[in-house]
Structures are given as C-alpha cells and as structure tokens.
Amino acid sequence: MKKILILGLDCATPQLLFDEWSEHLPNLTALGNKGFRARLESTIPPITVPAWTAMMTSQDPGMLGFYGFRNRSSYGYKDLYFANAKYVKAKTVWNYLSRNRMKSLIFGLPQTYPPKPLNGVMVASFLTPNKGVQYTYPDEVKHELDKAAGGDYMIDVENFRTDDKDDLLKQIYEMTERRFKAFRHFYGKDDYDFAIMVEMGIDRIHHAFWRFFDKTHRLYEPGNPYENVILDYYKEVDREVGETLKLVDDDTMVLVVSDHGAKPMVGAICINEWLQREGYLTLKEEPKGQTRLKMDMIDWEKTRVWGEGGYYARVFFNVEGREPQGVVPQAEYESFRREIIEKLEAIVDENGNNIGTRAFRPEDIYRETRNIAPDLVVYLGNLDWRSAGSVGVGSIYLYENDTGPDDANHAQNGIVISSAATPGAAKDQYSLYDIAPTVLQYFGIPIPEEMIGTPIFQGGQQ
C-alpha cells in the first residue's frame, strides 16, 4: 500500500545541508542520492506562519487571508490577532485524505493549534499556549505523549532569544530527542497513509547561534566555544532522521522539506524611525529612550504610514475613509504607494550603499488578497536586515535585535529531499506550493483548481 512520510525541518537551509555539510549528514545525503534534492522556494514572506499552511494547502498567503503571525482583524489601529488554526479556512492535504478514508498522523506542524478533527492523530505545534489545553486530536493522545517522549514532551523551547546559550542548547536537544522519539512511537504503532512531523530545533538554533560559526557574520569570533554548535546539531538531526527511516517500508515515499532557509542578519532597520525621519509618521511626544511603538503614541492626524517589526516589514497606510483617522486620500493611494516604494528601495547603509530593499504590493504577489493585507510587504536589504518596530532609537540602524538576541534572518529558499526520483532530470528548484499537489497525485486524488502548485512527479513517480 502506497504511503508518504514527510519530515519537516523548519528553517533547514540549502547552503548548509547541501553544500557545506553534506558529507557530515549521511542519512539525508543518501536519501537525496537515491531520489533527488533541490531548493524549495518559500512564500512571500518566508516565515513559519503562513509558510507551512501554504505548503499543506498549495494556497498563497493572500488566498489564505493571513500574512504572518500577526494580522489585522479590522482597520482599527490596535486590532491585531495571532493566526492560529481557527483562521485556516482552506482545505489541507489531510482533509482531502480523510474524505478518501485515508489515515494521517500530523505531528508538530505549525498552525495546527487548536487541533481540528481528522481521520487520524494530530499533535499541535508551538503556537499551543501550554500543555493544559487540548492540543491533540483525539484529546486522550496527550496523556500518552510524555511517556512516548521518554520525558516531558516539549512543545517548544522556552525562549530562543536569550543570552543563556548553554541552557537553550540543552533545551533544543531535549526537544528534538523527545519529539522524534514520540513521533516514532505513534508512527510505528499504527498504519498511516500520510504522516508529517515538523521539528523546530533548526530554526531555534539558527537564530541563537548563527554568529558563532559564520565567518561572514559581523559578530563572529574565531575559536569561540560555540563554533561547531550548529554543525553538531545538524548531525544530531541527521541521526534522528536515520532512526526514523528504519521504520519506513519500501512502499513509502519520503520527503524531507523546510519552509524557508536562513542567512546571517546584518542588523535591523528601524522602520518607524525611518518613517519619522521621512515625515510620514508623527508621535505625540518623542520617547526618552528605545521603546516598542504603541498605537496610542501616534498622532494620527499627522501620520500617513506606520510599520511593524519582524524578519520582514509590514507597512500600513493611514487611509482616509478606511482607518478611523485616515489622512491619505483614497484618490492618491496608488501614487502615494509608488512614492513609499521608491523611498524604501532607496534606503542605504551607514556608508551610503544601497542595501537592496524590495517592496511588494500584495496584489502583485498573491492570487487574491483576502481579509486585510498590509499595504506593502517589505524585505529590507532583501532580508539581510530585519525590521525593528521600536522608536526612540535615535538612528534608523540597529545592530542588536530589539526583541532579544538574534543572529539570523529567514531566506527565501528552503530544501526538499525525496527518496523517489523524478521521471526526468530533477529541477534545481521547486515551489513550496508543489508539495500538496504532489501528495494528492501520489494517492490518485484529483488536484483541486484552487491549488496553485504543480506536482513534482509530472508523468508519474518512480
């Protein structure tokens, strides 16, 4: 009976896994040699939410109606919500499989809390607030998790933006060991047509330890005690993958995927400081020191634009007749947006060099724009710089992340490794949107029109 196992490695990045460290990762390398390996282009923006859901639905963020972790629920200034599973209206791969009486195991996949019924078992992801809530389906599964994990099953590490590196490293290893152990327990005890688990450890370790190994990072110090931490962890993940593959029979196709990659973070552009300097944002009074921008600090009658921090910037306009105290005339919206794009893409570093910012109109990059999209999605320095939302900094440049230590930013390309070969030569790059239609095609299920990806194995899977 044909089956699929997907192992998700959040933030696994091709330049490390395929190039620099391939010889140190025998299980992942052998899997790719058996089938193929390629880059996997992520969503815009390349961030955990909505990327994993986009992968499992083959719908882009605009179609899904959420554009990151935090989204606007109305055009009010303070109305933001976290996009958990309640806001996922699109059908996922396992929804289609359940309708065809196929059984699924969904384990740690982001944006699955709170869990919804399916034909199978679900253990929700790191958006679960704590283990006191229902975070599994069926509910009684959670009572088996700790035992299956060989200890306290960890939904996530406590805080990956910390200076206590030793404790964080211990937590990451414990989380990874227990998650894989628990997944193998559930995967081995039943027969699943489709199974996916997502391990968050690579994402956490990239953000916390990138500067210690990357000689191009401005904070790199030769001979530091954490120089081999990320490589050693990749080796550990490879070992866990190898143990998991021992449970796989010849009728199972294995895919290893990541939702995005990683790259060194040069620094942060303080988007709201920049908007103030350009005359687009006015505060009621200037802060005495660096602080998070709050909406009640803004003089809305004199403000046309504000921004949100994160690995990318979301830029919002204060539009007349749309926002409560809007000032940008609707008739001038497009010309004003062109003006902002031109200025954003002209941002330079402290030496006067253009940093290569890219500003996207949502309607240009998404098939639809459901709910409330940002007016612009912005890659500062093409993701070499993150967006800092703080004000009172005194500069638009910030070289320490304003939400805690963070060494890496997200990159546009993740990875896909397949145990199955394509009928012809494999491409160098596929799209994250190709995964869901690939799964449905494998099981002979018609691919819905709303899926925007293309099956990887066109012409048949070998």
What is the Cα–Cα distance from 15 to 199, expressed in whole angstroms?
19
User: Which of 158, 180, 155, 165 lies closest to 236, judged by CA?
Assistant: 180
pLDDT at 462: 43
Q: Is residue 449 part of a domain?
A: no
What is the Cα–Cα distance from 308 to 315, expressed in whole angstroms?
7
What is the Cα–Cα distance from 423 to 438, expressed in whole angstroms?
14
Per DSSP, the three-state class of 93 is helix
What is the Cα–Cα distance from 50 to 45, expressed in whole angstroms?
8
State whether 237 and 277 are in the same domain. Answer: no
Q: Tell me whether the omega of the peptide bond preceding residue 114 falls within 30 degrees of 0, making it cis.
A: yes
Q: Tell me whether the omega of the peptide bond preceding residue 446 falls within 30 degrees of 0, making it cis.
A: no
State whether 120 and 251 are in the same domain. Answer: yes
State whether 253 and 278 are in the same domain. Answer: no
User: Which of 361, 363, 409 lies closest to 384, judged by CA?
Assistant: 409
Residue with tokens 């050693």: 232
Q: How many domains does the chain divide into?
A: 2
Q: Do the Cβ atoms of 81 and 103 come closer than 8 Å?
A: no
Domain range spanning residue 299?
A: 267-405
Instruction: Write out the two tokens for 118.
Output: 């399916």
What is the Cα–Cα distance from 426 to 422, expressed in whole angstroms?
6
State whether 204 and 226 are in the same domain. Answer: yes
What is the Cα–Cα distance from 35 to 37, expressed in whole angstroms?
7
Pick from 384, 405, 426: which residue ends a domain? 405
CATH number for the domain harbouring residue 199: 3.40.720.10
What is the Cα–Cα distance from 412 to 159, expressed in whole angstroms?
24
State whether 180 and 236 are in the same domain. Answer: yes
State whether 108 and 145 are in the same domain. Answer: yes
Q: Which residues lie across from 120 on neighbouring strands?
A: 104
Residue with tokens 């109606």: 65
Q: Is residue 255 part of a domain?
A: yes
Please give the DSSP secondary-structure letter assigned to residue 391: B
Q: Is residue 451 part of a domain?
A: no
What is the Cα–Cα distance from 208 to 162, expressed in whole angstroms?
8
Per DSSP, the three-state class of 53 is helix
Phi, psi for residue 323 in degrees, rounded to 5:
-80, 155
Per DSSP, the three-state class of 180 is helix
User: Which of 301, 272, 244 lies closest to 396, judged by CA?
Assistant: 272
What is the pLDDT tens value at each position of the chain, 462 positions in all?
Answer: 899 999 999 999 999 999 999 999 999 999 999 999 999 999 999 999 999 999 999 999 999 999 999 999 999 999 899 999 999 999 999 999 999 999 999 999 999 999 999 999 999 999 999 999 999 999 999 999 999 999 899 999 988 878 889 999 999 999 999 999 999 999 999 999 999 999 999 999 999 999 999 999 988 999 999 999 999 999 999 999 999 999 999 999 999 999 999 999 999 999 999 999 999 999 999 999 999 999 999 999 999 999 998 999 999 999 999 999 999 999 999 999 999 999 999 999 999 999 999 999 999 999 999 999 999 999 999 999 999 999 999 999 998 766 667 889 999 999 999 999 988 888 999 999 999 999 999 999 999 999 999 999 975 544
Pick from 390, 405, 420: which residue ends a domain? 405
Element (H, E) at 376: strand 376-379
What is the Cα–Cα distance from 299 to 319, expressed in whole angstroms?
14
